[in-house]
Structure 1
């Protein structure tokens, strides 16, 4: 069992933890539990992190949505589900989705779809369409958009 941290030491550790990258409340709570911080001290530390702007749920949600869309090519459905899993509030999720413009969203989808379609080596047209659709649906893109693109690319 780790030795007990003082409140001040735990606060300094968490300030560094939050300064390194944006964190949500859930990640901070888990980290505090791992450090063996008591419940009253956890609440004190979280309040202090919020007051000193180390912890900001809206800023986390915006950064998360931007990064996952631009770097990993995630669609809105996957981003929303991941934010909900991190217990982010609905207004903050809505705010996060506004980080990606419609034009950028559409362009990312078109590029990702074309790149993946071209990379598939499957010869059987139905299997190729299935793999294509599964990939994009797993990434959280809307099903009607995915199926329309699959139909257009397969020429069916």
Structure 2
């Protein structure tokens, strides 16, 4: 026999979601999913979402900028992976572009070059074609633009 589902009043759920959003930036989709997991009815979900938005607990632009900053600086993701992941989280195209434009071109290229120089030394492969393939696959998976990746592979692996 399963234990009964925990139910929440509108006030309890609102407080819980305020803490959820205050802890770290959340997307609208994450908030809606959290409320659905709490078995809230659609009308309550709308009321709470509007409350969070009006009281600045929820802000899609701020979420997108924080997400891009974190994933770029920590995981070294490229722009295409960042855009794809934000799209999966239901962020609008406008906010995706705004967040990605926050990365300076110089910083973007510097991070890529530094990462590429480290990665090429880590690939233990004697066949230059296999080494290039491993190099290219790694950077494409991280979402770096193919023209950057292929140019760098040809420059570093001869």
Superposed, 1:85-96 pairs within 5 Å as 85-96=88-99
* Runs of 4+ residues deviating >2 angstroms: none
Give the match for residue 102 of structure 1. 105
Question: Match for 1:40 among 19, 43, 61?
Answer: 43
CA–CA distance in structure 2, aligned partners of residues 85 and 17 of structure 1: 20
Superposed, 1:55-94 pairs within 5 Å as 55-94=58-97
Q: Does 1:22 align with 2:1?
A: no
Aligned residue pair count: 155
Describe the superposition over 1:52-110 as per-residue Cα deviations: whole angstroms up to 9, x where unpaired.
00000000001111111110000000000001111111110111012211110000000
5+ long unaligned stretches in structure 2: none
Give the match for residue 57 of structure 2. 54
SS in 2 for 1:3: coil
SS in 1 for 2:97: helix
Give the match for residue 11 of structure 2. 8
CA–CA distance in structure 2, aligned partners of residues 98 and 18 of structure 1: 24
CA–CA distance in structure 2, aligned partners of residues 20 and 3 of structure 1: 22
CA–CA distance in structure 2, aligned partners of residues 2 and 33 of structure 1: 12
CA–CA distance in structure 2, aligned partners of residues 15 and 130 of structure 1: 47
5+ long unaligned stretches in structure 1: none
**How many angstroms does 1:3 deviate by?**
2.2
TM-score under structure 1 normalisation? 0.97
**How many angstroms does 1:2 deviate by?**
1.7
Which stretch has the larger CA shift, 91-100 or 133-142? 91-100
CA–CA distance in structure 2, aligned partners of residues 115 and 37 of structure 1: 49
RMSD over aligned Cα atoms: 0.7
TM-score under structure 2 normalisation? 0.96
